[in-house]
């Protein structure tokens, strides 16, 4: 156990009584349920993007510095980030507000900016609307020149001054060869992601940690790259620093909106993993084979996705694997638009992890009239629509012949599985991620989590749990958290991550017992819940 | 009976109703909640005109600026272009003119152009007069129709005239790039393809029906 004694108070809204478990569950690390040697997806670590983001930001700020020193500081700053973050309890507010990240001068300057904004001539700015101010989470995108590009709430035209302040904050700190990362004021977190030529800012008073908010911003940035590619984005601003990027992004707002909404409720982003549609492995094999047989020139990936962002299968070129973060953007593309439901479509898409500088061309179509499963054929060649259309037709014929689409529809209508099926009395809900395959499975949400508010609260609890076990300053292996409404257990091994919700009265030994039983159940069902063998071209 | 296969590209600014016009024609329905097209959508349609079986392959392109660079892919091999604008939006009419310039510059063979002023159901908010648009269409030697995807006005006529022009083109210009099937053997072959097209079309109809009820409003 790497865990040390726990002394700090838990974060806001969380009742006390939290302890690090000393009991070790059965060692299942050797045979983590759902583990596989298959490299369909790249095994992604939580926060890997953020650490890269921090590294990159830092190195940009510190060009010319000694390497060793730089590296040390990165580690320190990452450490600082997580420590600061964890202690944002209400009682800490006063002490925590003046972040070290912003120098004293920076603060003064930002204050005077805020002062300017308060003058009456700017009354039309969104920030004067109480409704707008009360939003739980804001996301802003602006250019390095301070031009508004996107806002999650309200109208970015009415945020010119506000975004000007954000730009000023970023560039002021940059003048000192440093990077602003976040500020905390009261219950609000202000998180910055500086990815030239754009700046992304998130302002939230929610359960997420600053790291998790930074992860959201990274996804939003990747969504933009997915639409424009990095090379196009940087070229535009090289030519014209003052460019209004909204011109090129018209129609993209709904994808950004949808992505941010998804991140507020879908655990796939938090876990850096994808959820598979439960299917008999024999059916999944036929689907994989059928898709693999209908190959076409330069076809890199074929992705079949069911409703609610559940993966049916991925067939890939042997030498390429798909990163879950790229797959999440593909899911978002399908989830956010009904345009693909009316006809076969052909669209360029950039997968930032695969190649942030180039497009793949996607043939997108639903395979049946109910629009239950959407097939995406991604090719490097922009002139192969008709070849892919033909391949798609062959796939449909084959899948219908073997009743696969019927099986997909049945699984979709049945939903996930009820936790009662597992037969563990006190267990209410769980999420299990198999690290090696970057896939996760979770039970259906049932009472008492049927209402939107309660679901949101539970998701917040999972975010908290996730944040605590992945705290880079003090990573935990097991966290047993007793709350007034439920007891939660988070457990990280080299092979898996498990987050479980129990009734509030469960005892530690009972919970550990239940978890062992749960792992055995997942192991038994792993063929159905996970994609363990994938097909290649 | 001869068969002819033609490629048609639909161009125009975003939100003028390109997809609505196409779906109205191919799927015989109208939905208020058409999602903006991503990239381009492909439709097929067949009809019989003047002893010709005409099979149309339609590329419905996205009007958004970011997809503009993809357009040559679709108009390069097209036999006809439908240039759609919104009669209540002057800008969208000016946009048509830039498309025409681009087509003239980049398309080598003959391409039949048809200017379509859509949304006549909103005539009270009209910004582009019929005379002005007709005059322009004449000047570039294009057909001109005013349509409403909502009330299904003028769309059949527009497609019929385009098809007639395509047939005429195939008779007069052998280098037009139009695929013409002659004789029974190839006709059978063409029939097979055509039936596929019909099948597809039926699918779309039902799909778009279900779309009506559960998609949020996002017409732009």
Domain pair A48-271 / A279-415, same fold: yes
Segment of A15-24, A107-116, B165-174, B193-202 carrying the highest mean pLDDT = B165-174
Q: Could you tell me what percent of chain B has a pLDDT over 90?
A: 61
Q: Where are the beta strands (DSSP E) in B62-194?
A: 80-86, 112-118, 143-146, 179-181
Half-sphere exposure of A530 (CA within 13 A, CB side): 28
Over its C-alpha atoms, chain B yields an Rg (Å, rounded) of: 17
> Cβ–Cβ of A346/B39 closer than 8 Å?
yes
- What CATH number is given to the structural domain containing B147? 3.40.50.300
Tokens 């000016």 belong to residue: B94
Q: Provide the 10 A C-beta neighbour count for residue A201.
A: 26
pLDDT at B33 over 70: yes
How far apart are the C-alpha atoms of A216 and A246, rounded to whole Å? 20
Pick from A299, A290, A289, A301: which is nearest to A329 by CA?
A: A301
> Cβ–Cβ of B65/A248 closer than 8 Å?
yes
Average pLDDT for residues B49-58, to the nearest whole number?
A: 90
> What is the number of residues in chain B?
220
Query: Which H helix or E strand runs over B181?
Result: strand B179-181
Task: Look up the domain containing B22 and give its range.
Answer: 2-214
pLDDT at residue B142 in the model: 95
Who contacts A414 (Cβ-Cβ below 8 Å, separation ≥6)? none
Who contacts A258 (Cβ-Cβ below 8 Å, separation ≥6)? A332, A335, A336
pLDDT at residue B186 in the model: 41
What DSSP designation does B148 have?
B
* Tens of pLDDT, residues B77-117: 899 999 999 999 999 999 999 999 999 999 888 899 999 99
**A231 touching B (Cβ < 8 Å):** no
Query: What are A142's strand-pairing partners?
Result: A148, A199
Q: What is the helix, strand, coil percentage profile of chain B, to 5?
A: 45, 25, 30
Tokens 């749990």 belong to residue: A465
Closest in A227, A339, A370 to B35, CB measured: A339
Confirm or reject CATH 3.40.228.10 for domain A18-38+418-529, answering yes or no: no
Half-sphere exposure of B61 (CA within 13 A, CB side): 25
Q: Residue B36: list chain A partners with CB under 8 A.
A: 251, 254, 337, 339
Query: Which H helix or E strand runs over B165?
Result: helix B155-172
Q: Residue B66: list chain A partners with CB under 8 A.
A: 227-228, 248-252
Pick from A202, A218, A203, A191: which is nearest to A46 by CA?
A: A218
Quick one: fold of A279-415? Beta-Lactamase (3.30.450)
pLDDT at residue A54 in the model: 52
Pick from B198, B201, B192, B190: which is nearest to B5 by CA?
A: B190
User: Domain tally for chain B?
Assistant: 1
Query: Which H helix or E strand runs over A149?
Result: strand A148-151
Residue numbers in chain A where pLDDT is lower than 70: 1-30, 48-123
Query: What are A439's strand-pairing partners?
Result: A274, A434
Give a yes or no: residue B219 inside a domain: no
Average pLDDT for residues B55-79, to the nearest whole number?
A: 93
- Tell me if ipTM is over 0.85: no
**Chain mean position to CA A437:** 16
Pick from A165, A113, A79: which is nearest to A473 by CA?
A: A79
Confidence category of residue B219, pLDDT binned at 50, 70, 90: very low
Confidence category of residue B197, pLDDT binned at 50, 70, 90: very low
Is A317 in contact with A535 (CB distance < 8 Å)? no
Q: Residue B19: list chain A partners with CB under 8 A.
A: 339, 342
Domain ranges of chain A: 18-38+418-529, 48-271, 279-415
How far apart are the C-alpha atoms of A44 and A268, rounded to whole Å? 11
Return phi, psi of residue B94, to 5°. -65, -35
Closest in B14, B35, B206 to A337, CB measured: B35
Q: Is residue B174 packed enough to be buried (19+ CB in 10 Å), middle (13-18) or exposed (0-12)?
A: exposed
pLDDT at residue A285 in the model: 95
What DSSP designation does A494 have?
S
Give a yes or no: residue B131 inside a domain: yes
How far apart are the C-alpha atoms of A454 and B117, rounded to whole Å? 51
> Cβ–Cβ of A346/B14 closer than 8 Å?
no
Q: In what order do the strands lie in the sheet with A182-185?
A: A148-151, A137-143, A198-204, A188-195, A182-185
How far apart are the C-alpha atoms of B1 and B51, rounded to whole Å? 6
For residue A327, what are its two tokens? 């797959």
pLDDT at residue B181 in the model: 74
Tokens 């590209």 belong to residue: B9
Residues 359-378 of A with CB under 8 A from B: 362, 364, 366, 369-371
Query: Which H helix or E strand runs over A194?
Result: strand A188-195
Lowest mean pLDDT among A96-100, B71-75, B142-146: A96-100
Per-residue CA distances from B59 to A319, B9, B79 (Å): 33, 5, 11
Is A345 in contact with B39 (CB distance < 8 Å)? yes
Write down the architecture of domain A48-271 according to CATH. 2-Layer Sandwich (3.30)
What DSSP designation does A90 have?
G
Pick from B205, B14, B15, B6: which is nearest to B122 by CA?
A: B15
Residue to test with chain B: of A149, A228, A244, A338, most B Cβ within 10 A: A338
Q: For chain B, what is the mean pLDDT?
A: 82
């Amino acid at each position: 156990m790497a865990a040390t004694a726990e002394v700090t108070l838990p974060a806001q809204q969380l009742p006390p009584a939290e302890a690090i478990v000393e009991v070790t569950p059965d060692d299942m690390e050797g045979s983590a349920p759902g583990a596989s040697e298959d490299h369909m997806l790249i095994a992604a670590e939580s926060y890997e993007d953020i650490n890269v983001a921090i590294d990159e930001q830092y190195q940009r700020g510190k060009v010319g510095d000694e390497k060793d020193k730089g590296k040390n500081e990165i580690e320190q700053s990452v450490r600082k980030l997580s420590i600061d973050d964890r202690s944002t309890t209400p009682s800490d507010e006063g002490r925590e507000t003046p972040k070290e990240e912003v120098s004293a001068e920076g603060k003064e300057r930002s204050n005077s900016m805020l002062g300017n904004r308060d003058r009456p001539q700017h009354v039309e700015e969104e920030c004067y609307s109480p409704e707008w101010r009360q939003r739980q989470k804001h996301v802003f995108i602006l250019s390095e020149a301070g031009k508004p590009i996107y806002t999650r709430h309200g109208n970015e035209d009415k945020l010119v001054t506000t975004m000007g302040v954000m730009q000023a904050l970023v560039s002021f700190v940059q003048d000192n060869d440093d990077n602003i990362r976040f500020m905390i004021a009261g219950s609000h977190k202000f998180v910055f992601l500086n990815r030239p030529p754009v700046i992304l800012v998130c302002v939230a008073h929610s359960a997420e940690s600053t790291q998790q908010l930074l992860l959201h911003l990274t996804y939003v940035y990747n969504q933009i790259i997915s639409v424009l590619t990095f090379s196009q984005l940087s070229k535009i601003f090289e030519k014209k620093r003052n460019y209004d990027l909204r011109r090129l992004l018209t129609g993209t707002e709904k994808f950004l909106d949808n992505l941010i909404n998804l991140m507020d409720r879908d655990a796939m982003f938090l876990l850096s993993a994808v959820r598979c549609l439960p299917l008999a492995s024999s059916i999944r094999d036929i689907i994989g084979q059928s898709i693999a047989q209908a190959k076409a020139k330069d076809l890199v990936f074929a992705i079949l996705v069911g409703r609610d962002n559940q993966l049916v299968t991925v067939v890939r070129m042997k030498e390429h694997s798909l990163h879950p973060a790229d797959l999440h953007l593909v899911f978002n593309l399908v989830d956010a638009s009904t345009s693909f439901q009316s006809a076969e479509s052909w669209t360029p898409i950039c997968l930032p992890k695969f190649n942030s500088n180039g497009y793949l061309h996607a043939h997108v179509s639903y395979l049946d009239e109910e629009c239950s499963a959407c097939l995406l054929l991604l090719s490097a060649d922009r002139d192969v629509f008709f070849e892919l259309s033909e391949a798609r037709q062959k796939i449909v014929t084959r899948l219908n012949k073997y009743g696969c689409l019927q099986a997909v529809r049945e699984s979709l209508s049945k939903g996930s599985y009820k936790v009662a099926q597992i037969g563990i009395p006190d267990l209410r809900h769980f999420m299990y991620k198999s690290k090696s395959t970057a896939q996760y499975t979770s039970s259906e949400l049932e009472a008492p989590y049927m209402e939107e508010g309660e679901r949101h609260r539970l998701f917040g609890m999972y975010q908290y749990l996730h944040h605590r076990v992945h705290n880079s300053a003090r990573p935990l292996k097991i966290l047993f958290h007793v709350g007034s409404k439920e007891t939660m257990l988070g457990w990280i091994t080299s092979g898996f991550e498990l987050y479980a919700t129990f009734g509030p009265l469960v005892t530690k030994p009972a919970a550990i017992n239940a978890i062992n039983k749960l792992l055995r159940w997942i192991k038994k069902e792993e063929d159905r819940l996970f994609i363990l063998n994938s097909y290649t071209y | 009976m001869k068969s002819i296969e033609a490629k048609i590209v639909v161009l125009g600014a975003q939100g003028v109703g390109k997809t609505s016009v196409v779906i109205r024609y191919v799927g015989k329905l109208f939905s208020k909640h058409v999602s903006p097209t991503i990239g381009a959508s492909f439709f097929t349609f067949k009809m019989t005109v003047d002893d010709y079986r005409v099979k149309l392959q339609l590329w419905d392109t996205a009007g958004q600026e970011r997809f503009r660079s993809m357009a040559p892919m679709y108009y390069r091999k097209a036999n006809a272009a439908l240039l759609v604008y919104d009669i209540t939006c002057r800008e969208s009419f000016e946009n048509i003119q830039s498309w025409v310039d681009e087509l003239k510059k980049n398309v080598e063979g003959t391409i039949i152009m048809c200017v379509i002023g859509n949304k006549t159901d909103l005539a009270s908010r009209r910004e582009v007069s019929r005379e002005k648009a007709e005059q322009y269409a004449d000047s570039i030697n294009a057909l001109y129709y005013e349509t409403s995807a909502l009330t299904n006005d003028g769309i059949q006529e527009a497609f019929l005239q385009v098809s007639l022009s395509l047939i005429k083109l195939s008779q007069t210009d052998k280098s037009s790039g139009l695929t013409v099937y002659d004789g029974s053997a190839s006709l059978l072959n063409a029939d097979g393809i055509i039936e596929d097209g019909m099948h597809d079309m039926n699918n779309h109809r039902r799909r778009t029906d279900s779309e009506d009820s559960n998609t949020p409003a996002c017409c732009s």
